[in-house]
Amino acid sequence: MSFQAYIDNIKEKTKQTPDQIREHAIKQGILVSDLKATDFCNWLANEYQLGRGHSMALWKYFIDHQWINTKHTTL
Measured between alpha carbons, how far is 46 from 17 in angstroms, rounded to an integer? 17
Please write the tens of the pLDDT for every residue from 17-62. Answer: 999 999 999 999 999 988 999 999 999 999 999 999 999 999 999 9
Who has greater pLDDT, 55 or 1?
55
The pLDDT value recorded for residue 72 is: 72
The pLDDT value recorded for residue 71 is: 76
What is the pTM assigned to this prediction?
Answer: 0.89
Contact criterion met (CB below 8 Å) for 43 and 30: yes
The pLDDT value recorded for residue 74 is: 59
Please write the tens of the pLDDT for every residue from 61-74. Answer: 999 999 998 877 65
Residue ranges of the domains in the chain? 3-64
SS (H, E, C) the chain: CCHHHHHHHHHHHHCCCHHHHHHHHHHHCCCCCCCCHHHHHHHHHHHHCCCHHHHHHHHHHHHHCCCCCCCCCCC
Contact criterion met (CB below 8 Å) for 14 and 48: yes
